[in-house]
């Protein structure tokens, strides 16, 4: 993690450099949400601050002081916002500011409306919200500090009250029945909305992936023409674009703090549901068949009792049929037997892709974290990659890096509950490995930056002894 004082000194040392202004021509860390999803508040960690004073940038309608980065900290792709307004606020350890460029390119700014020297903005109107919304979290006094951005939607207008029937005069008035309250309808789950989007191959998911998911209610499924118990939101939490699934089946399960459920719309439009098959009131689904898996698969993490709680969605592929055993070669007498090469495809290779992430050096100046299942099924000590321990053939992540020229190094570290390792293949095809440099049996690598780091960087998070455990991978750029 960056020590903020060090970062500040580094920036002051570069005060002679020319700084740009905030621009939506660059992109921040990207998220996709519907208005319905943001009705459950979402929070995002960020380092507030930047090298550009907004007052010097001539931004229309924003003649205020505040220091922000050039690229936005976050880029949100929003949909289904017509009936909502959006509240964005910041909780920071210093005097922070908030700058937003809305979907119709309107600039908005706030300094202290959230109290305690923190900003808050209410953004109204579908024209401002349906589409791309960029967010910068800056500081008032040209400093840096840890902060949290909070995003939440609210109904733009309360539902209209039901008209009360007027009494009709009668010679002998009859008692009138009491009006039955009409519940406010909740939109049913639909694949017409998208959740947070990920692109995976069957090979990618052969290494288990975990995703934070807020298990939540909403519409009663039996009222939606779905013969399933429980409740789910209108938009899916996740939309997976899957390919190369022909030889695999997919297992999805949830680990949550309440009685959760799992609703899936497969690539061919079939609805699947489970409630408790994982045990402990949590769901599990096995999805078979390439027709169900090659394409877009939408996933809702719902609840049985229309409650809300934190949870984790796990996704993993398994071979649909065990690979046929290889015929055993008969020994051929040789005067001088030659050593046999390692089986192809077993060692880590950059010919395979991990989960792809497009990111700039500017974005990575605020540390970015990625969840991963550490481990692998092959001992890499004989793979000529300069490492030891166990890893998979495919990397966990393939980072497409750009804008790295102005940075001195890229720091990559892992934190986990088991003894992990870190293997990296750089854009120049250089292998780098570490085991314990981060302390507590955790790895850390400092990769020299500059133009040679623009391109694809593959990362494997392995383990020393062949075990497996959840881990957090963190990337961060430094000037020095």
pLDDT value of residue 189: 93
pLDDT value of residue 31: 82
Q: Does domain 4-9+20-155 have CATH number 2.60.120.620?
A: no
Please list the rounded mean pLDDT of every run of 10 residues in the chain (480 residues).
Answer: 42 41 84 89 88 92 91 90 95 95 94 94 94 94 91 79 60 58 66 84 90 85 93 90 93 94 94 94 94 94 91 91 57 48 63 85 92 90 91 91 90 96 94 94 93 91 93 93
Give the single-character DSSP code of 427. Answer: T
Strand, helix or coil for residue 54: helix
Read off the tokens for 398: 């393939």
Per the rule left: phi > 0, alpha: psi between -120 and 50, beta: everything else, 396 is: alpha
Rounded CA separation 157/394 (Å):
50
pLDDT value of residue 186: 62
Read off the tokens for 310: 């934190």
Residues composing the chain: 480
Read off the tokens for 225: 């023409």
Q: Which residue has the tokens 């509240």?
A: 87
Are 427 and 457 contacting, i.e. CB atoms less than 8 angstroms apart? yes
pLDDT value of residue 27: 79
Give the single-character DSSP code of 118. Answer: B
Fold for the domain defined by 196-319 = Jelly Rolls (2.60.120)
308 sits in which H/E element: strand 308-319
Fold for the domain defined by 355-478 = Jelly Rolls (2.60.120)
Kindly provide the residue ranges of all beta strands, DSSP E only, lying in 321-419, ordered along the sequence. 355-360, 368-374, 378-379, 390-391, 397-402, 409-416
Q: Which long-range contacts (CB under 8 A, 24 or more apart) does 111-119 make?
A: 111/64, 111/66, 111/140, 114/89, 114/90, 117/92, 118/89, 118/90, 118/91, 118/92, 119/89, 119/90
Instruction: Name the segment(s) of the chain with CATH classification 2.60.120.380.
Output: 4-9+20-155, 196-319, 355-478
Question: What pairing do the DSSP bridges indicate for beta strands 29-34 and 74-79?
Answer: parallel
**12-21 in b/e burial notation, b at 16+ Cβ within 10 A?**
eeeeeeebee
Interacting residues of 465 by C-beta distance below 8 A, sequence separation 6+: 389, 390, 419
């Amino acid at each position: 993690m960056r020590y903020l004082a060090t970062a500040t000194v580094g920036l002051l040392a570069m005060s002679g450099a020319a700084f740009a202004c905030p621009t939506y021509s660059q992109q921040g860390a990207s998220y996709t949400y519907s208005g319905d999803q943001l009705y459950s508040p979402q929070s995002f960690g960020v380092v507030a601050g930047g090298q550009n004073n907004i007052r010097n940038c001539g931004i229309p309608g924003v003649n205020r002081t505040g220091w922000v980065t050039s690229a936005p900290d976050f880029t949100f792709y929003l949909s289904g916002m017509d009936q909502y307004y959006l509240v964005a606020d910041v909780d920071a350890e210093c005097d922070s500011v908030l700058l937003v460029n809305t979907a119709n390119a309107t600039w908005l700014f706030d300094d202290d409306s959230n109290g305690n020297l923190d900003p808050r903005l209410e953004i109204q109107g579908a024209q401002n919200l349906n589409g791309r919304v960029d967010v910068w979290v800056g500081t008032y006094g040209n400093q840096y500090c840890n902060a949290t951005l909070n995003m939440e939607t609210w109904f733009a207008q309360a539902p209209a009250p039901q008209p009360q029937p007027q009494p009709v005069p009668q010679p002998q008035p009859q008692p009138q029945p009491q009006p039955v309250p009409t519940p406010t309808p909740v939109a049913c789950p639909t694949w017409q909305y998208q959740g947070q989007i990920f692109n995976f191959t069957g090979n990618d998911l052969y290494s288990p992936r975990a995703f934070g998911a807020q298990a939540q209610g909403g519409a009663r499924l039996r009222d939606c023409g779905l013969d399933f118990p429980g409740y789910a939101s209108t938009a899916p939490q996740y939309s997976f674009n899957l390919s190369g699934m022909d030889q695999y089946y997919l297992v999805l399960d949830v680990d949550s703090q309440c009685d959760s459920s799992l609703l899936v719309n497969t690539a061919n439009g079939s609805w699947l549901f489970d409630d408790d098959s994982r045990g402990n009131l949590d769901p599990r689904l096995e999805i078979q068949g390439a027709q169900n898996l090659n394409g877009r698969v939408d996933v809702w993490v719902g609840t049985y009792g229309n409650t809300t709680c934190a949870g984790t969605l796990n996704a993993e592929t398994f071979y649909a049929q065990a690979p046929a055993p290889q015929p055993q070669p008969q020994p051929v007498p040789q005067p001088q037997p030659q050593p046999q090469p390692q089986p192809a495809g077993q060692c880590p290779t950059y010919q395979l892709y991990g989960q792809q992430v497009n990111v700039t050096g500017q974005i990575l100046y605020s540390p970015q974290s990625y969840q991963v299942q550490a481990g692998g099924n092959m001992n890499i000590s004989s793979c000529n990659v300069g490492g030891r321990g166990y890893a998979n053939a495919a990397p966990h992540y393939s980072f497409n890096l750009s804008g790295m020229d102005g940075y001195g190094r890229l720091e990559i570290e892992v934190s986990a509950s088991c003894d992990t390792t870190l293997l990296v293949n750089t854009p120049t095809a250089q292998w780098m490995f570490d085991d314990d440099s981060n302390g507590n049996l955790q790895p850390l690598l400092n990769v020299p930056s500059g133009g040679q780091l623009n391109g694809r960087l593959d990362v494997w998070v392995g383990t020393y002894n062949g075990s497996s455990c959840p881990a957090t991978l963190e990337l961060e750029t430094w000037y020095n």
